Chains A and B, each alone.
Chain A
């Protein structure tokens, strides 16, 4: 891990300036510091994740507010660790870098040691950030619920109550013909009296889970789009690498091979540029169709939202 400094130390053993060991020490401290923070973060997240999952199960509040408070507190600690790393990076790495960078002439043969210090430390910092991001995502996943189960409960509750009610006036049977999302009036087919029907808390919740459920059901199509969408950048970088490799190549045969490979990749890239929006649209249409199936009463509104979204694709 500290290979860079060791190697440099060997090369310039005698002539190395005094500040070099200071930078080396800072770098070493930085690495150790981040290692400890990472260990702490991992330990904390690993302990918190099963707790969060359990809390979500146990929280009988309609909005899962107890779960959300703890969730927010757990994220707060992850953020606290990240802030600690960021502040230390500014103070112990960047400030030190600027100091030496202003002290040591760019003409000095050792100037590059200063930028090496910064680069190695910043690479390490990026690794730390990647790990933090990983844990943030893992924590985020604890919010996920299997909405099919909740949806099935709503459907079976509806089956159980749809013929259960009688007119409060004449006692005639009333049929609830769909899952009402909000309170409404139902008139008796016999005496025409307006009864007021209040859906259960569970049925009302259908409105809140409908979109997420539709997204869960069409997640594979979203994935297809995302894969296609990321191809353009990947291919661009591959092409760029090949372009660079041409610079030191004089063999005409190899050059022409590279060129045809570039042409091939460029063709793939163009096709990805064409395809990605189509796949995006395909996903959106499927998601909205699914959503409309779950809550047909919201279809008119959802279709307007769909049209708006298409305009900004």
Chain B
């Protein structure tokens, strides 16, 4: 499950982040890279331009969407809920791009920032939590943050019994937590529980009870982990290598631990960090560049694993 959840994630890089922050708060940098754009100031929370009100925006979208819907219906089209959502979705994009005179990356950042409001689904990096969300009620007194901290320790290789002991819980209680929290992730269609779990995971959260419980990490492993957090290319290389390992019948998580000294919890945590940053600072050029790099590295490692197994079965077939 984790392989699926984290395997395809790509993130974003630091310089981009700075660029974005500047752009979303005071716009100083914007004209530097795109001089055809007007000076637009964005609200840091909603990413709406500050030269109009959110209400005006929503009204404009509704007006255009409803006109189109009425038109479609008049010409005999049968529109269902999904069609209507799509129509709104498209007009939201159109109006946003028009009113802010922005590129598609800015528009996607705006969509991420408002995904809960407009589509009912959370996006990593923009999680909004209402008070009294029943899905976030603690289970047996353990809140989601603490539950995530326990999961992190266990994925890092610490025996769950030790984690229980440190938390003052008997295994029967842990097993209930580990049933109910995943159930809530499944039940919550806004993905608040899942996204928040991912956010805590990315933050590598801990609680005082667990602070002294640490998986053994070699000096080399610690250095590699630090590099993976700061050097996006290194992260992409390891992600590509891990993927290639699976394709050659090797447990990628174990392979990363054996060769780079990084455990699964740390690996996934960094993967989530890059993904969160990527969502917040959406930049399609960077995304493509990193994804290409990962594929290139995956190929390199695949060639290495293939050589260890005497080549691929179809190596002798040529055009």
A and B touch in the complex (CB under 8 A): yes
Interface string of B166-190 (1 = CB under 8 A from A): 0000111001100100010011010
Segment of B95-103, B224-232, B310-318 in the binding face:
B310-318
Q: Is B216 an interface residue (CB 8 A)?
A: no
Question: Which among A41, A79, A183 has the highest number of chain B CB atoms within 10 Å?
Answer: A183
Q: A33-B319, A301-B183, A301-B186 are in contact. Are A79 and B247 (CB under 8 A)?
A: yes
Q: Is B37 an interface residue (CB 8 A)?
A: no
Within 8 Å CB of A65, what residues of B?
251
Q: Is B15 an interface residue (CB 8 A)?
A: no
Q: Would you give the shortest CB distance from A108 to chain B, in whole angstroms?
A: 27
Query: Are A69 and B249 neighbours in the complex by a CB distance under 8 Å?
Result: yes
Q: Is A168 an interface residue (CB 8 A)?
A: no
CA distance A30 to B171 in the complex (A): 61
Q: Is the interface of A mostly helix, strand, loop or mixed?
A: helix
Within 8 Å CB of A282, what residues of B?
none
CA distance A251 to B251 in the complex (A): 69
Query: Are A76 and B247 neighbours in the complex by a CB distance under 8 Å?
Result: yes
Within 8 Å CB of B70, what residues of A?
none
Q: Is B248 an interface residue (CB 8 A)?
A: yes
Task: Select B247's contact among A44, A75, A304, A308, beta carbons within 8 Å.
Answer: A75
Within 8 Å CB of B247, what residues of A?
72-73, 75-76, 79-80
Interface string of A108-139 (1 = CB under 8 A from B): 00000000000000000000000000000000
What band does the interface of chain A fall in when counting residues whose beta carbon is under 8 Å from B? 35 or more
Task: Select B319's contact among A29, A41, A183, beta carbons within 8 Å.
Answer: A29
Task: Select B248's contact among A41, A73, A196, A304, beta carbons within 8 Å.
Answer: A73
CA distance A41 to B317 in the complex (A): 11
Within 8 Å CB of A196, what residues of B?
170, 172
Interface residue tally for chain B (C-beta within 8 Å): 24
- The chain B residue with its CB closest to the CB of A182 is B175
Within 8 Å CB of B183, what residues of A?
301
CA distance A304 to B185 in the complex (A): 12
Give the tally of cross-chain contacts (CB within 8 A).
72
Q: Is A184 an interface residue (CB 8 A)?
A: yes
Interface string of B211-251 (1 = CB under 8 A from A): 00000000000000000000000000000000000111111
Query: Are B187 and A304 neighbours in the complex by a CB distance under 8 Å?
Result: yes
Q: A40-B317, A182-B172 are in contact. Are A305 and B249 (CB under 8 A)?
A: no
CA distance A185 to B247 in the complex (A): 44
Within 8 Å CB of B175, what residues of A?
182-184
Query: Are A81 and B170 neighbours in the complex by a CB distance under 8 Å?
Result: no
Interface string of A172-191 (1 = CB under 8 A from B): 00000000011111000000
Interface string of B183-205 (1 = CB under 8 A from A): 10011010000000000000000
Query: Are B314 and A184 neighbours in the complex by a CB distance under 8 Å?
Result: no
Within 8 Å CB of B179, what residues of A?
181-182
Q: A183-B171, A185-B172, A308-B187 are in contact. Are A73 and B249 (CB under 8 A)?
A: yes
CA distance A84 to B316 in the complex (A): 11
Within 8 Å CB of A37, what residues of B?
314, 317
Q: A30-B319, A80-B314, A92-B319 are in contact. Are A184 and B172 (CB under 8 A)?
A: yes
CA distance A104 to B143 in the complex (A): 69
Question: Which among A41, A72, A305, A308 has the highest number of chain B CB atoms within 10 Å?
Answer: A72
Q: Would you give the shortest CB distance from B168 to chain A, in whole angstroms?
A: 16
Q: Is A200 an interface residue (CB 8 A)?
A: no
Query: Are A76 and B249 neighbours in the complex by a CB distance under 8 Å?
Result: yes
Which residues A274-310 have CB closer than 8 A to chain B?
301, 304-305, 308
Q: Would you give the shortest CB distance from A284 to chain B, in whole angstroms?
A: 15
Q: Is A36 an interface residue (CB 8 A)?
A: yes
Interface string of A35-67 (1 = CB under 8 A from B): 011001100100000000000000000000100
Which residues A1-59 have CB closer than 8 A to chain B?
29-30, 33, 36-37, 40-41, 44
Question: Which among B179, B183, B312, B313 has the highest number of chain A CB atoms within 10 Å?
Answer: B313
Within 8 Å CB of B248, what residues of A?
73, 76
Question: Which among B183, B186, B314 has the highest number of chain A CB atoms within 10 Å?
Answer: B314
Q: Would you give the shortest CB distance from B66 to chain A, in whole angstroms?
A: 23
Query: Are A44 and B313 neighbours in the complex by a CB distance under 8 Å?
Result: yes
6 of the cross-chain contacts (CB-CB < 8 Å) are A72-B249, A73-B247, A76-B246, A182-B179, A196-B172, A308-B187
| Besides the known contacts A69-B249, A76-B249, A196-B170, 18 further A-B residue pairs in the complex with CB atoms under 8 A apart | A30-B319, A40-B313, A40-B314, A69-B250, A69-B251, A72-B246, A72-B247, A73-B250, A79-B247, A80-B302, A84-B317, A182-B175, A182-B176, A183-B171, A185-B172, A301-B183, A308-B187, A308-B189
**What residues of chain A have their CB less than 8 Å away from a CB belonging to chain B?**
29-30, 33, 36-37, 40-41, 44, 65, 69-70, 72-77, 79-81, 84, 88, 92, 181-185, 196, 198, 301, 304-305, 308, 311
